[in-house]
Structure formats: C-alpha cells, structure tokens
C-alpha cells in the first residue's frame, strides 16, 4: 500500500534561514513524488515533482526537493526562507504501476511558519 | 489553475439533507477526483473518474456518490448529510502528457458545514 509520512506537524524558521520540510514514503513500484502548498482559505498549489532522473528537483518560488531512494525520503528545502513562505505543505506519492495508478496519497501536512 | 471551478464555495446544511457539489473543468481532462481535507488527515480520496460515466471509489467513499455525464462536470453527492461530513472538499484534475507532465491540479475548494 502507498503511504506518506510528514513527521513534523509544525516547522518554525527565521526569515533568511534555510528551511527543510520532511517527507518519507512507502510505495509499491517506482514512486512519483509531489509537493503542494496551501495558503489560508485557498486550494492546493503544485510546487514540484519527482518522476525520474535527477534526484534534485527544482520547483516554484525557489523551492527544491531531494529524492533519496535508499532512505525513501523526499524532503522539501529552500536556502533562504521568506515570511511569505508561511503556509501548509503537503507531500504526496503515486505509483507508476498497479491498480492505484494515478492516485495520489497525501501526508497529513506540515505547517511552516517563517517569522521576521 | 487548470480551469477548475467548484460550486458552491461555501454551504451550510442540516443533518439528513441531500447535498450536491459541482466541479467544472474547461480543459477536457479525462481524470477527475474528489478529496476531502480534514485537520490531521491531509487529503483523502473520496471518488474519482477516468472518463464519462466511468467512476471508482477512493478510500473514504462511504456516504458519497458521484456522477459524470459530461467530460467537464464531476458531481459529488451526499445523499443524507451527517456531521462527520463537515469538511473542505477539493476537486482535482490529472494532467497527462509526455513523461514528466503527470500532475494533479486542484480547484479552490468547497467548505461544507453540516449542523
């Protein structure tokens, strides 16, 4: 079965510092991995994804994520946090085969707060 | 945002009443999804559709039904609403293409309160 774990409900960082939001996954087959961001009272916005290829994926708003197959992780990172990055972040996984092809499984979300 | 709209955006209803939520897309995507978002649970799949009149259950489908009579519209119905169905409901489409473009995009959401 496919599943995603986001071990931290909240992450707090100071503006200008690097940030990391953690995600680990379990999937049958090769994983497709995604990060989405949700601002208050808004829908989910796609940030970036890993399908295949380079393990370091760059996305919108200066975010990047590193796929680590041995650790089954896909942590979201940004070198220098902005107050405007404060939002709820979701990691999601899909598999490249099987009956659940195309279905996304989400983590519970991590609330990122960047203080000035 | 992939041309997805949801209606209504907010609804308050009473226990036992039927409720229908509508998702409309303008870009002819084959796959459409209904999720619910609840604190501490992330997003969970209710039902999805892989074409007109082709639908299947997700992980939290009890108490919900769906219909897709046209490519552009995917309806979610709560036959008899319960307080446990108070949630924020999101519709999504799956954008398919060459390798690297398989991505789901989400609508703005519908906040449903069942009293």
Averaged pLDDT of chain A = 91
Contact yes or no for B102 and A102 at CB 8 A: yes
Which residues in chain B have their CB less than 8 angstroms from residue A107's CB? Answer: 42
Which residues in chain B have their CB less than 8 angstroms from residue A44's CB? Answer: 43, 90, 106
Average pLDDT value for residue range B36-65: 93
List B residues 8-27 in contact with A (Cβ-Cβ < 8 A).
Answer: none
Distance CA A90, CA A96 (A): 20
Residues B76-115 have pLDDT tens digits of: 999 999 999 999 999 999 987 665 568 899 999 999 999 9
The predicted structure's pLDDT at residue B101: 62
Averaged pLDDT of chain B = 92
If DSSP codes are grouped into helix, strand and coil, which group holds residue A62? helix
Q: Which of A87, A104, A110 to mutate to test the interface with B (most CBs of B within 10 A)?
A: A104
Judging by beta carbons within 10 Å of its beta carbon (0-12, 13-18, 19+), is residue B62 exposed, middle or buried? exposed
Contact yes or no for A42 and B43 at CB 8 A: no
**Cβ atoms within 10 A of the Cβ of A72, count?**
16
* Radius of gyration from C-alpha coordinates of chain B: 14
Q: pLDDT tier at B2 (50, 70, 90 boundaries)?
A: low
Residues A48-105 have pLDDT tens digits of: 999 888 899 999 999 999 999 999 999 999 999 999 999 999 999 987 665 556 789 9
User: Is B94 in CB contact (< 8 Å) with chain A?
Assistant: yes
**Cβ atoms within 10 A of the Cβ of A111, count?**
15
User: Is A42 in CB contact (< 8 Å) with chain B?
Assistant: yes
Distance CA B73, CA B57 (A): 17
Which residues in chain B have their CB less than 8 angstroms from residue A104's CB? Answer: 33, 43, 45, 104
**Looking at the predicted structure, is the pLDDT value of residue B19 above 80?**
yes
């Amino acid at each position: 079965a496919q599943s995603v774990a986001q071990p931290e409900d909240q992450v707090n960082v100071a503006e200008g510092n690097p940030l990391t939001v953690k995600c680990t996954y379990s999937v049958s087959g090769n994983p497709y991995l995604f990060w989405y961001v949700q601002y208050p009272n808004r829908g989910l916005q796609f940030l970036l994804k890993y399908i295949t290829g380079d393990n370091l994926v760059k996305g919108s708003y200066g975010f990047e994520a590193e796929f680590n197959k041995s650790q089954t992780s896909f942590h979201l990172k940004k070198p220098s946090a902005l107050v405007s990055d404060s939002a709820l972040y979701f990691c999601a996984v899909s598999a490249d085969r099987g009956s659940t092809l195309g279905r996304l499984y989400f983590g519970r979300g991590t609330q990122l707060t960047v203080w000035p | 945002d992939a041309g997805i709209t949801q209606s209504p955006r907010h609804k308050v209803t009473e226990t036992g009443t039927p409720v229908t939520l509508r998702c409309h897309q303008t870009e002819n995507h084959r796959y459409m999804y209904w999720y619910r978002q609840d604190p501490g649970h992330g997003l969970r799949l209710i039902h999805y559709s892989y074409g007109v009149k082709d639908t299947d259950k997700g992980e939290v489908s009890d108490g919900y039904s769906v219909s897709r009579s046209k490519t552009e519209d995917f309806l979610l119905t709560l036959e008899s609403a319960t307080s446990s169905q108070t949630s924020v409901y999101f519709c999504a489409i799956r954008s398919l293409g060459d390798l690297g473009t398989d991505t789901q995009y989400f609508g703005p959401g519908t906040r449903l309160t069942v009293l």
